[in-house]
Amino acid sequence: MIRGLYLSACGSLIALIFLCLAWELRLAPVVPGGTWLALKCLPLLAPLFGILNGRRYTYQWASMLILLYVAEGVVRATTERGTGQLLAIVEICLALIFFSACVGYARLTRPATR
């Protein structure tokens, strides 16, 4: 169970990083040719090594960080059309998978209390 949550968190975070870069540089940039909005993937790099190393504290704070990407996805899914809207829906799905995996992992790895 813990291994599955770990793999879900790692996979969805890495996929979200690549999605953000591809979205803003190639697939559906706000301005043709790419924009500085591609830098939105930088905050996702902060928890990457902690997530890959299975650090519980990183899972806890990254679950709060990812909610910004859920909010961005909801806004862009409701305001954009075509490819941008589809990419926003994918962003929402990946962010929710990451959030669920982080919460589950943090909960299952908490220290035993007596």
37-89 tens-digit pLDDT: 889 999 999 999 999 999 999 999 999 999 999 999 999 999 999 999 999 99
Domains of the chain by residue range: 2-108
CA atoms of 51 and 60, how far apart (whole Å):
10
User: Percent of the chain at pLDDT above 90?
Assistant: 84
Residue among 102, 101, 98, 74 at smallest CA distance from 88: 74
